[in-house]
């Protein structure tokens, strides 16, 4: 009798544990309770990727908690919800006229809720010249993806073909990794220029220096741009830019580019200062390359806030 009762008791416990497991799995499928594995944006890059912008949210988690998270969200929930990595990938093949844009989030937890929240606020993702092809999806745990195309005008493609010709690149430039923010613009075939000019054209009326026909003369001097930003202290960022010059150009062209970039820096510095943000640094030429070293104090004033 006692043995039968024990067997029945174990069966009941087993059924309850199974039911609890099913409940947990169902809730996880709806909310994403368990941590997703780290997946690199490189899994979604292509040989035609010309612009990469990558952010590691965990490297400025204090700023997210203090300035960006809604005040009614506890810090532990913010920590759990932060993606391992966020990235924007933009493709352009001037030879085939194909373009693409992908917004990638490597979720930690709460992926389904993040997808729903982003799709509910789709207006926030409206970008000039970009046509999203659908809602954000979660094709697998750890991956949140939104895809679209960049509408590059024919006049821009014509300018690229005239200035660069048809260039076959052996590879696509990748990021170094390990930085709070890192961006790479690969302009060896004019692809980065085409994407930027397309978005700039879609904005409409702008300064004449930003018109595609004027902009191309400057951008043709640039083969690639790398930018990194890392925290150097509370509310302080160290920013580094490495600009590789077009090997077909002369050092005088690169020196002229330094002068233009210095003018842009000074104008940006003065504008930021009016907002209580201090930008200091210099651009210097090193042969056919340009190094920019800057420090930005008061950058939290630039962060979007939910408070």
Domain layout of the chain by residue ranges = 1-31, 37-220
Residue with the bigger pLDDT between 14 and 189: it is: 189
111-125, 231-245, 252-266, 271-285: the lowest-pLDDT one: 111-125
Distance CA 202, CA 122 (A): 19
Structure tokens given for 152: 């590059």
Structure tokens given for 122: 């789709």
The count of other CB atoms within 10 Å of the CB of residue 188 is: 19
CB 36 within 8 A of CB 83: no
Distance CA 192, CA 51 (A): 6
Burial of 202 (0-12, 13-18, 19+ CB in 10 A): middle
Q: What is the pLDDT of residue 77?
A: 74
Written as one string, the DSSP assignment of 282-293 is EEEEETTEEEEE
pLDDT beyond 80 at 292: yes
Across residues 59-76, what is the average pLDDT? 78
Confidence (pTM):
0.84
Residue with the bigger pLDDT between 35 and 166: it is: 166
Which residue's entry shows tokens 């933009």? 90
Distance CA 194, CA 196 (A): 6
Residue with the bigger pLDDT between 26 and 103: it is: 103
Distance from the Cα of residue 205 to its chain's centroid: 26
Q: What is the pLDDT of residue 265?
A: 93
Provide φ and ψ at 269, rounded to 5°. -60, -45
Q: What is the pLDDT of residue 199?
A: 83
Residue with the bigger pLDDT between 95 and 250: it is: 250
Q: What is the pLDDT of residue 72?
A: 75
């Amino acid at each position: 009798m006692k043995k039968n009762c024990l067997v029945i008791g174990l069966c009941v416990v087993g059924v309850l544990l199974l039911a609890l497991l099913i409940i947990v799995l169902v809730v996880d499928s709806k909310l994403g309770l368990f941590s997703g594995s780290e997946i690199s944006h490189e899994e979604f890059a292509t040989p035609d990727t010309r612009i990469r912008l990558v952010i590691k949210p965990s490297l400025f988690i204090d700023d997210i908690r203090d300035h960006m998270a809604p005040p009614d969200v506890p810090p532990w929930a913010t920590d759990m919800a932060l993606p391992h990595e966020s990235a924007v990938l933009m493709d352009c093949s001037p030879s085939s006229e194909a373009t693409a844009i992908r917004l990638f989030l490597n979720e930690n937890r709460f992926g389904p809720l993040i997808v729903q929240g982003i799709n509910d606020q789709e207006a926030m993702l409206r970008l000039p010249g970009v046509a999203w092809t659908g809602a954000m999806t979660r094709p697998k745990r750890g991956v949140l993806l939104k895809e679209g195309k960049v509408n590059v005008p024919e006049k821009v493609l014509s300018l690229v073909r005239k200035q660069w010709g048809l260039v076959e690149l052996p590879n696509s430039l990748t990021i170094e990794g390990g930085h709070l923010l890192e961006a790479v613009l690969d302009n060896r075939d004019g692809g980065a220029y085409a994407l930027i000019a397309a978005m700039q054209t879609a904005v409409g009326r702008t300064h004449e220096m930003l018109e595609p026909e004027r902009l191309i003369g400057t951008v043709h001097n640039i083969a690639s741009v790398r930018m990194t930003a890392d925290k150097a202290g509370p509310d302080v960022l160290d920013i580094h830019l490495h600009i590789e010059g077009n090997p077909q150009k002369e050092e005088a062209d690169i020196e002229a580019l330094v002068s233009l970039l210095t003018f842009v820096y000074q104008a940006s510095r003065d504008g930021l200062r009016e907002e209580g943000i201090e930008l200091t640094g210099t651009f210097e030429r090193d042969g056919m390359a340009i190094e920019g070293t800057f420090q930005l104090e008061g950058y939290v004033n630039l962060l979007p806030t939910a408070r």
